[in-house]
Amino acid sequence: MLTHFNEDGRAKMVDISDKQTSVRTAVARTSVEMSEQVYNAIRQQKIKKGDVLSVAQVAGIMAAKQTSSLIPMCHPIPISGVNITFEWETEVDKTVKLIIQTEVKTIGSTGVEMEALTAASITALTIYDMCKAVDKSMTIGATFLVEKSGGKSGDYKRNPNA
């Protein structure tokens, strides 16, 4: 059922005032695939714009906090915590993939899936922005919800084979 439409078929923000407050968590993931040259520049702190992972991490946290300003039907919510982690993978063709995982938590009446996805996306875009002078061929990978907990719809865990 589509809940973001009023009786006239026009967009509306869903009323969550009757929803139960609960602890809600969401984990999202994305990636940035890059050349060895970019990887080495990041690891050796040779990117002129600064410490890439630290800046991207702060950008992702700020994005999670601003999600309702970016996505029209998102409710502004009090975020309890945001954590962003990075993991490096080397591909067969010598490219390197940076896996970005975000976790967002709140105690509230609506979930934080959009906040986790926004944080992942902005973290990846920040990495691209900071490193594009070295190599513009970086690729931002699929962005997806890994899992979520809390709320009326219950828990969700993505099939790892999906």
The answer, yes or no, to whether residue 16 has pLDDT greater than 70, is yes
pLDDT band at residue 2 under the 50/70/90 scheme = low
The answer, yes or no, to whether residue 145 has pLDDT greater than 60, is yes
The pTM score is 0.92
The residue from 93, 129, 135, 155 that is catalytic is: 129
Q: For the chain, which residues make up each domain, given as ranges? A: 22-150
Q: How many CB atoms lie within 10 A of CB 28?
A: 29
Query: What's the rounded Cα separation, in Å, for the pair 72 and 62?
Result: 17
Residue 93: active-site member: no
Q: Which residues lie below 8 Å from residue 95, measured CB to CB, with a gap of 6+? A: 33, 34, 35, 36
The domain defined by 22-150 carries CATH number 3.40.50.920: no
